[in-house]
Chain A
Amino acid sequence: SQQGEEDPQALSIQEGENATMNCSYKTSINNLQWYRQNSGRGLVHLILIRSNEREKHSGRLRVTLDTSKKSSSLLITASRAADTASYFCATEDPLYAGKSTFGDGTTLTVKP
């Protein structure tokens, strides 16, 4: 299965702390994307990192990709209560264009 697995399943931190979430996958990928989902809402795209990239930044977000370990991490710095959400990684199957497989997600709670 191509499915990403994320850890931890749940993470609770104080406002201002950093939050790190990890995603592992099983086979080769074209790219890996991180999405955020507020409770009961649709997903919002955060960052796409291609298989030939190692690190990307966007505001308070930093994503790394290690294709040798088949893993990625999402770091949110200086977290805010508004960052409370579920975070999913999604991998694109290089053999099946259009199919992104999502991990089970990490639920992040940022306490004010």
Chain B
Amino acid sequence: DAMVIQNPRYQVTQFGKPVTLSCSQTLNHNVMYWYQQKSSQAPKLLFHYYDKDFNNEADTPDNFQSRRPNTSFCFLDIRSPGLGDAAMYLCATSRDLAEETQYFGPGTRLLVL
């Protein structure tokens, strides 16, 4: 049974056209993360939510926003995608913050035309 679900798996958008990626979880975990992973690179943490508390990484561009309307869902909004934002976007969850395994979704691959 899928525990962390990401939709869509592939997303094509146009330069400058806002796009929203979706993540849901059935684990009832407190923490949800969004990572950006470019080809052959390490996943890079963009931000995370601990319950409703939002924590933004210092170097995450303002172009990237996130919403967590409830425990199960978390969204990544890219307000004005640029060509450099084409990447795999990974959602992950963990029960708590410290010393916890992260459970990853399958990712959404974003293509910007």
| A residues lining the B interface (CB < 8 Å) | 3, 30-31, 33, 35, 40-45, 48, 50, 88, 92, 97-105, 107
Contacts and interface: CB of A to CB of B under 8 A. Distances in A.
B99 A48 contact: yes
A92 B42 contact: no
B101 A100 contact: no
The prevalent SS among residues of A at the interface is strand
Contacts, number: 63
Interface string B85-113: 00010101010011101111111010000
Interface of B: 4, 6, 31, 33, 40-45, 48, 50, 55, 57, 88, 90, 92, 94, 97-99, 101-107, 109
B41 A104 contact: yes
A50 B88 CA distance: 29
29 contacts: A30-B99, A31-B99, A33-B101, A35-B104, A40-B88, A42-B104, A43-B92, A43-B102, A43-B104, A44-B104, A48-B99, A48-B101, A50-B99, A88-B42, A88-B43, A92-B98, A92-B99, A97-B97, A98-B33, A98-B55, A99-B45, A100-B45, A101-B42, A101-B45, A102-B42, A102-B43, A104-B40, A104-B41, A104-B42
Nearest to A44: B104
Contacts of B104: 35, 42-45
Contacts of B33: 98
B101 A45 contact: yes
Given A48-B99, A50-B99, A100-B102, A41 B107 contact: yes
Given A31-B99, A50-B99, A42 B45 contact: no
